[in-house]
Amino acid sequence: MKRAVSVFLTLLLLIPLFIPAAAVRANDNITYNVLEIVSHASQLSSSPLKKELGSTSNISVTTMTMKRFVALRDELDGKYDAIVISQGDYNPAKLGMTTSKNRSASHNTTNSLNDLTDLKARQIKQFYIDKGLPVFLHENSVKNYSTSKLYSYSQSNDWKSKQNVMFFTTNTNIKNYFATNGTKRPHLVLTTFPSSTQTYKKGDTLSFAYQIVNDTQFQNKLLTVNLYIDSDFNDKYTSEEIVASKQVQGATGTISYTLPAGYSGPRYWKIEIVDETSALKDYEKGFVKFQDVPATIKVLQIRKGNDASSLLNTKNMNPSFLTRANEYSISIDVTTLTDFQKSKIYEPNYSHEVINGKYDMIIFGFADCYNGCSPVTSLSSNVVQSVKNFIQSGQSVMFTHDVMFGANNVWVNEFGSIVGQIQPQTDLGNGAPNPSTSTKQVNSGLMTNYPFALGDNITIATTHNQYYTLDLEDENVITWYNIDGSPRDVYDSWNHYYTYSKGNVTYSGTGHVGTTSAFPEEEQKLFVNTMYRAFFGSNHAPQLTVITPQENETIPSNQPIELSYKVEDLDLVDRTFSTKVWVNDQEVYAQNDVPNGTTIIQSLPHNMPNGGTARMKIEATDARGAKVTKEFQVVIEKVSANMEVNRTISKTLAPVDESITMQYTITPKPLSLLTNTLLKVTNIAFEEKLPAGVEVVSLPSGFTKQGTVTEGYTIKGTLPDISFVKSGTTYIAEPQTFAIQVKPTTKGTFSLSQAKLTYKDINTQLVNLSFNTLSFVSDYKITDVTLPSTIFVNRGVPKNARLLLNVLPQEATIASVEWSENSNGQIISIDKNGVITAVKEGTAQVTAKVKDMFGNVKTTTMTVIVRIPVDSITINDFTVHVGETISIPITVSPADAKKAVSYSLGNSLYAEINGANGTITGLKEGVTTLTVQAFNKNDELLEKTVTVTVQAIPVTAVVVSPTVANINIGETTTLTATVAPNNATYQAVEWRSSNPNIASVDANGRVTGLSTGQVTITAQAHNGVVGTAIVHVGSPLTGISLPSTLIVQKGKTINVLPYIAPIPANATTKIVSRSFTIENSYYAVVDGNGEVTAKRLGETPLTVKLTDENGKTWTASTVIRVVEHATGPTKGGNKDGWLY
């Protein structure tokens, strides 16, 4: 029998914080869990299968009757390794209408209704036969009744033709079967899990450690561990309730979940291990105690009349049962069926017209012949519709004893199918032939465990069977207790039901003596559990919190009503709500599809200039119709001051750290006075205390702030005096305005209600005025949303994509997520909660559109592959360059199964994978691994790991431009280097000069001339490839000079050129032309090459004219002195032996 983690609360204190389960080694023999179904309760103590197995220790058998099996609602999928329908008498005979003569005897249904339901037959096929788990059927027993469903299903091809459906006549030989075949299911053991005695709170983490007992059997298969939380308290676990999921790595592992806000009470969890390829699974379940928002449960009991069945009567309900500190509080109002049917005009408190939004649950009961029997108490169509609307909105209704009595009356016709009662009408309870005060528990769950742990048998007030058959084909029908005794088949929930539920509707057989006898304590506790479960299992109206204004708050008549309120729905399935506001019975605001958790901020006109009382009404309704209403009033006070103040805000929804502007206006009123004196308002001072978390961005000139953003700033400032001037018969003054800019530094709702103005009025009286309250909400904008590039989904194993969605920043509020897929339901389907279900093999794209509170939409997509079996994978080590994207060099057989391959990198620092396209992109030089996985037709994992080397794209050439450059000393020029190819990984080059004394070069290729000469500038890439340029460094010519005198011997010739000196001496400017002129050719002559020939003694000026490469002309002059060698010392002009 499956190990039960959940225990009755009466034993909770015996369990430590973390419960160590018995350690089980991976190679230990597992215990096989087998469900045995028998036809009669007499077989339970000594079942055929248990007789066959004897002392076999590794097979645990759970034996139950067919009637109990079809009434149980625990999860069959993942609970057993095999199902055996043993030898027995599976008579399908149904009970028909009884009479007073046979009614009492007909209570003994032992030999009837021992048949399968279609519901259970489908589950056996879906969860066992189709998944390859063995089903053993006693051949003769299943064939005894050809009209039975057991016969029909067992002889169908869907069952009979399957190899894992085995028929036997004597023994099942199940022991040999397991010895030979083992089990295909993974077997789970929790080694640690949260204690059900500890109280957990919002933000606490639930942690689980698990072990796969038969891990070696699944080493080449993909296993997933899922953690569920039963968020709607319906004792079922659906895919959208998966709160954490991860792939199993090895024989042991952990999984955890952080608890969000919610109502106080138990949180039921389930840990599941599932084989992704076969959808076979195992699970464990349990619960923890959670404390956050105490549940306030409002119940309306509708009695048949003014009888003694009121739950306010302490004989019927111990008041202490109705409340538990920090957990729940149940308040009960009591009315009569007559008053309930009245219009709210005549019955404003308990009319059927006011139940939605006022009560969480209504109870019709408790009385014998509640519906009047004969004649039946009629219900108007309006009342019927109100009750149906209440039920359809997801809120809870409890019907009780004798509500469904008779035929063709309003109760049976309108509510019969809603409460799950169907034909045949048996009338077993007519006349109360077999009364009873004892019960037998059928299913266990929140109804039987909390707030009170109820036993397997509880004592109830005397009651009897009801009149119709319970619809056990409806999986939403959960029987909690059957009536026992006299001599009933206690496992027969078709006929002997006492308390059951169908969704948010509950039915109780109590009330037969509701007007004459008290309810036993155990039954009272069951009522409390019923009301508690009804609240948690139903749709709750949203919670509405008014932030501003407060009840009876005074508002100046010149200011609007600054309304702010927050609507939260703790039902996780309710994403949006609609809301309306009325002022004095006039609708002033309405909005639909508002995201859950939104704070509504509105400035509402009241149109009451002379003051008075304004009646406020706010209504919020969730998507299923449950609504909450808040009504209050505020006082509008007529303004008598000579000035009015008002302010506005630029936006009521602002991103964190973005500015908001508040505009303040002071408006003087016109004054009708008979005076000639100067009218002036003086000493005007402003002060405002800001809430914490609001930073001041800018203030008017002269204003100051004190404090910190953590504790809240106080702003103070003075304003100019206001002078009134006469205009006609009145005195008027211009309004004053100023602005203050602030910004929120954190997410939240901010109310600014402490802004005031003080001044000395024209009559010198000191006046205080308050500015209207302003409110705003700050939140984070969503900057990015991502999903994995590729996931795999297998048929029979839905995936919750919501768990894969990553939103940044994580603090941002998600207003909505819209899921879609592009296969039109042909390959996969996806519901509004993001749960993906595989339909057939193929590939589809899932898109998530995420909207934040500002209306910004971010979109992300992922590829979803419903896998195709892979025969083989071929892949070798390969290389990819940095910045390069290539197809992963893999060969998959068959080729169309390539999309069924998954990729994972050892280190994403060096490369990234696009699984949808089958490509890899190099990010950084280095080495990483790539693991490739797929499954073959035998559901075995194929895996290859290769080495991926990420290399740089090398530089093959560097071209420097220009290749030649000329600069002067002190000048600069910038060279550029172009790397080839243009996608080379490293584009940077290193510059250097062949002679830094002539020219230097910096890291950006900027060359500076330092001295004349020629250098080679080199640009070198990281791998040594170079490019060069020649740079000539020159010195510009600024002038020329000649000696003052050149002495030439008569008859001789000299060249002037060597005597021309450039200025500066290192000038490098080229001379392109020369000309020479001599003043008096009598003494000497000069040719075009600068050759001077001396003719006669004497002197004559010579001028040289040069033109440089830049077109500039330079001149210099000298004197040519012609001399002759003296032959005698006495000759004239003789000096040192020369004649002049």
> Tens of pLDDT along 883-918?
999 999 999 988 878 877 888 898 989 999 987 788
| Per-residue pLDDT band at 23 (split at 50, 70, 90) | very low
pLDDT at 542: 86
Residue-wise pLDDT tens digits, 153-167: 999 999 999 999 999
Residue-wise pLDDT tens digits, 28-72: 479 999 999 999 999 999 899 999 999 999 999 999 999 999 999
Structural domains in the chain, sorted by start: 31-181 (3.40.50), 188-291 (2.60.40.2550), 295-537 (3.40.50.880), 541-640 (2.60.40.10), 641-779 (2.60.40.740), 788-866 (2.60.40.10), 872-951 (2.60.40.10), 957-1034 (2.60.40.1080), 1039-1139 (2.60.40.10)
Q: Compute φ and ψ for 123, nearest 5 degrees.
A: -65, -40
The label of the residue with tokens 């060698």 reads 1125
Q: Is pLDDT of 122 > 90?
A: yes
| Per-residue pLDDT band at 511 (split at 50, 70, 90) | confident
Percent of the chain with pLDDT over 90: 78
276: CB partners within 8 A, 6+ apart: 221, 222, 223, 224, 792, 794, 797
pLDDT at 1140: 66
Tokens coding 25: 């080694």
Q: H helices of 110-263, where?
A: 118-124, 139-143, 149-154, 157-160, 174-181
Q: Is pLDDT of 654 > 80?
A: yes
Residue-wise pLDDT tens digits, 453-486: 999 999 999 999 999 999 999 999 999 999 998 8
Note whether 740 and 719 are within 8 A (CB). no
Q: What SS3 state is found at 16?
A: coil
d(CA 622, CA 540): 9
CA 855-858-862 angle, to 5 degrees, is: 150
pLDDT at 933: 86
CB burial readout 198-209, b (16+ within 10 A) else e:
eebeeebebebb
Q: What SS3 state is found at 842?
A: strand
Q: Which stretch of DSSP H or E encloses residue 385? A: helix 381-392
Preceding omega of 424 cis (within 30 degrees of 0): yes
d(CA 57, CA 31): 8
> Taking the CA of residue 278 as centre, how many other CA atoms within 13 Å lie in the half-sphere pointing to its CB?
26
936: CB partners within 8 A, 6+ apart: 869, 870, 871, 942
Amino acid of residue 581 = V
Number of H helices, E strands in the chain: 12, 84
Q: Is pLDDT of 421 > 70?
A: yes
pLDDT at 234: 83
d(CA 40, CA 600): 62
Q: What is the mean pLDDT of residues 97-125?
A: 96
Average pLDDT, the chain: 91
Facing residues of 617 across strands? 582, 631
Regarding beta strands 505-508 and 396-399, do their DSSP bridges make them parallel or antiparallel, or are they unpaired?
A: parallel
Q: What is the mean pLDDT of residues 357-363?
A: 91
d(CA 1049, CA 1052): 5
DSSP letter for each residue of 490-537: TT-TTT-EEEEEETTEEEE---TTTTTSPPPHHHHHHHHHHHHHHHHH
**1005 φ/ψ sector (left φ>0, alpha ψ -120 to 50, else beta):** left
pTM: 0.71
Reference 912, options 859, 873, 948; nearest CA is 948
d(CA 220, CA 243): 26
Q: Is pLDDT of 225 > 60?
A: yes
| Per-residue pLDDT band at 18 (split at 50, 70, 90) | very low
d(CA 893, CA 869): 9
The label of the residue with tokens 């749960």 reads 835
CB burial readout 976-987, b (16+ within 10 A) else e:
ebebeeeebbee
**576 φ/ψ sector (left φ>0, alpha ψ -120 to 50, else beta):** beta
pLDDT at 515: 58
Residue-wise pLDDT tens digits, 934-991: 888 776 778 899 999 999 999 999 999 999 999 999 999 999 999 999 989 889 999 9
The label of the residue with tokens 């023994």 reads 171
- Give the torsion sign (CA, 659, 660, 666, 667): positive
d(CA 92, CA 97): 16
Residue-wise pLDDT tens digits, 615-653: 999 999 988 888 899 999 999 998 888 899 999 999 999
Neighbours of 124 (CB within 10 A): 22
Long-range contacts of 905-914 (CB under 8 A, 24+ apart): 905/929, 905/930, 905/931, 905/948, 906/930, 906/931, 910/948, 910/950, 911/880, 911/948, 911/950, 913/789, 913/888, 914/789, 914/885
Q: How far is CA 271 from the centre of its chain?
A: 22
Residue-wise pLDDT tens digits, 335-345: 999 999 999 99
Q: Is 714 exposed, middle or buried (0-12, 13-18, 19+ CB in 10 A)?
A: middle
Preceding omega of 894 cis (within 30 degrees of 0): yes
d(CA 325, CA 682): 57
> Taking the CA of residue 593 as centre, how many other CA atoms within 13 Å lie in the half-sphere pointing to its CB?
4
Tokens coding 866: 């419903």
d(CA 707, CA 711): 7
Reference 254, options 275, 235, 271; nearest CA is 271
pLDDT at 5: 34
Note whether 841 and 823 are within 8 A (CB). no
Q: Is pLDDT of 1130 > 80?
A: no
Q: How far is CA 842 from CA 519, 713, 829, in A?
A: 61, 61, 12
Q: Which stretch of DSSP H or E encloses residue 544? A: strand 543-548
pLDDT at 277: 78
Q: Is 439 exposed, middle or buried (0-12, 13-18, 19+ CB in 10 A)?
A: buried
d(CA 221, CA 1083): 118
Regarding beta strands 586-595 and 694-698, do their DSSP bridges make them parallel or antiparallel, or are they unpaired?
A: unpaired
pLDDT at 841: 85
Round the CA-based radius of gyration of the chain to a whole number and report it.
48
The label of the residue with tokens 């280190």 reads 907
Q: H helices of 219-376, where?
A: 337-340
Amino acid of residue 293 = V
d(CA 961, CA 967): 15
1101: CB partners within 8 A, 6+ apart: 1078, 1079, 1080, 1117, 1118, 1119, 1120
d(CA 606, CA 614): 7
pLDDT at 572: 62
* Segment among 16-20, 355-359, 1086-1090 with least mean pLDDT: 16-20
